[in-house]
Amino acid sequence: WSACSKEDILPQPLSSISSSINFNNSQSVASFASPWEEPGKWNVKDSSGFKVFTYQRQMPELSEAIVNKGVVMVWAKDLLDPTIGLMDKPMLTPFYFFPDNERPKYTEYWYPTPTVGAVNISFRTNDNEPVQNPNNKVKLRYIIIPQEVLQKNNQTPSSVYHLTYTQIINMLGIGA
């Protein structure tokens, strides 16, 4: 995978790649899924003994109705954990990485914050160890499921979070 310019590697609005993400054309309200993407620039701040890295993904399709009554899922893969190694299977955020000992001095917490028009994905870690920017090879995939699509599939915002990645993509008819 290569790009000729910086613009070629910037994430595109979901609407600009609708042919690969609009997978419920028969419904009046569609679900969306981005391709696997590498995040762009992470912003960092110190917060009460933690370093918090945040990446904002613009999503004009993310309406107030979806934020309030639908589901916004952010899946991550190709994460490099210092104690486990490469995590190449999709993991639904939020999640933690803890070392094996009972009183970890180094933890990682990944979590999304959906808002109208954007999703922030954050990575928080203890500030007592040298911390580097999140692995640039991490890939994120965003799946937006409006309330109507949940209902059509006999799901609720709570129940859909108990499904695996494979069950989600099969339910919505999208590729892995």
Residue 70 has which token pair?
A: 């639908």
**pLDDT digit string, tens, across residues 143-162:** 999 999 999 999 999 999 99
pLDDT tens figures, 37-85:
999 888 989 888 788 889 999 999 899 999 999 999 999 998 876 666 7
β partners of residue 97: 108
Cβ within 8 Å of residue 27, ≥6 positions away: 148, 149, 152
For the whole model, what pTM was predicted? Answer: 0.77
